[in-house]
Structure 1
Amino acid sequence: MDRKQLLEKIIAREAAMFIAVKASEPADCQEMLKTFYLMREMSHSVLAADTLTSYLQDLETAAAAGRNLMTEKYARMENLIPSLNENELIYKIVDIEREWLSEVHKKYPLTIAVEGGFTTYAVCELETYSDATLNLYYRDIFLAATQKRNLVEERYQYLYGNLGFKDLEEVEALAQKRAAVKE
């Protein structure tokens, strides 16, 4: 299976679970599946193929057991269930990605927002991953950090590239022009 097929299979599994989520407050994004697909593709775009393969296995194992990982993630976010995974790598991954997000926000403040819910969302999502997938994910993060790469920036470059922009500099310049017009 090539990388594109792997991403498609992962996102199709996630979308099926996402649509089935019954949250205490309905999510508008459940009605915008095109956006869901784009954001999930962005999220997974920087991970190695073996990490993605492991995550797909997590999704398939969960589905076979009648579990919905998206329901579990949102239940964790709402503090409706206890922690799903206490693996210390979750917090190491989130700390690195939060730092990367902060760096990208400093470079592109009008394009990339630093959301207060990032940590909660990231932790709750990673809690649904198996230890095997977390180990591979951390390896990807650690390797990128040693190479002075910022995977958050790479994700946003991927997203905006798919939306037809040359790069984040172009998006930020357009945001600056819009902000100047409003003043």
Structure 2
Amino acid sequence: MLQNDVKQDIVGRLIDKEWIFFGQVNNIGGRASCQDDFMTFRIMRSSQFETWDEEVLLSYERDLKQAEAAGRNPVELKYAYMMQETSPEYFERELAPFLPVIEEETKRIAEQIIEYEMAWYHKVREKYPYFTGLGRPEQESEDGRMTSVFVYLRGELYTYSTETLNRYLEMVKKKEKAGSNLIRETFENTAKKYGYRDLDTAEREGVHSASKIAAEGI
């Protein structure tokens, strides 16, 4: 089996496992429509996972298996940690007493990763404002319905084990040294999965379509 096939198998396993966790998340307002949209979920998660080194993927897979064995839902924990920023009063009153304590080492490594990834995100946002604007905002939305890139990233990293975070940080540093941009790679994957030739084409055609619709008053 080719190395790329092995990686795709791992990615597939991660998506299947996360999808189960995602479906079990209890939302305050009831089940969300996105919990029944597997196609979008698969596109978003695979676009991210396919940029990771195999060692990081395997380490994260171990995290998911350990979480399942311990009766934890890491996807639910991710959203809970995000609420420390989006709904601090609710978080402190209803969630914090029941959540696993985040180790200082986890916070330290996560913040290093965030620094790299947000710098990459800003570069991509500057060059591809239309396409990146279709996803999560850089800042929290006023109505609180869309969590920012920064808050989402931190919430997710806080659910990773120290081993996975260390491997992830090594990967990030390696990509930075090579002049790569992990965030751009993710958006590139997303554009292709939605049928575009590449990210440049998605940006160009998307802006053109939006401008045409606006001009025609549709």
Interval containing the TM-score (normalised by the shorter chain): over 0.9
- 1:45-67: per-residue Cα shift (whole Å, max 9, x none)? 11100110000000000001111
Q: Match for residue 54 of structure 1?
A: 59
One-letter amino acid of the structure 1 residue matched with residue 33 of structure 2: D
1:103 Cα offset (Å): 0.5
- 1:21-41: per-residue Cα shift (whole Å, max 9, x none)? 002134331121111111111
Q: Give the alignment partner of residue 38 of structure 1, picking from 27, 35, 43.
A: 43
Q: Give the alignment partner of residue 18 of structure 1, picking from 22, 38, 45.
A: 22
Establish whether residue 84 from structure 1 lines up as the match of residue 106 from structure 2: no
Structure showing greater radius of gyration is 2
One-letter amino acid of the structure 1 residue matched with residue 204 of structure 2: A
Unaligned runs of 5+ in 1: none
Q: CA RMSD in A?
A: 1.5
One-letter amino acid of the structure 2 residue matched with residue 136 of structure 1: R
Establish whether residue 106 from structure 1 lines up as the match of residue 106 from structure 2: no
Q: Match for residue 86 of structure 2?
A: none
Q: Give the alignment partner of residue 94 of structure 1, picking from 114, 125, 137.
A: 114
1:23 and 1:74 in contact (8 A); partners too: no
Q: Match for residue 152 of structure 2?
A: 121
One-letter amino acid of the structure 2 residue matched with residue 95 of structure 1: E
Distance across 2 between alignment mates of 1:27 and 1:85: 30
Q: Match for residue 144 of structure 2?
A: none
Unaligned runs of 5+ in 2: 84-90, 140-147
One-letter amino acid of the structure 1 residue matched with residue 15 of structure 2: I
Aligned length: 183
Q: Match for residue 6 of structure 1?
A: 10
Establish whether residue 72 from structure 1 lines up as the match of residue 92 from structure 2: no
2:129 alignment partner, SS class: coil
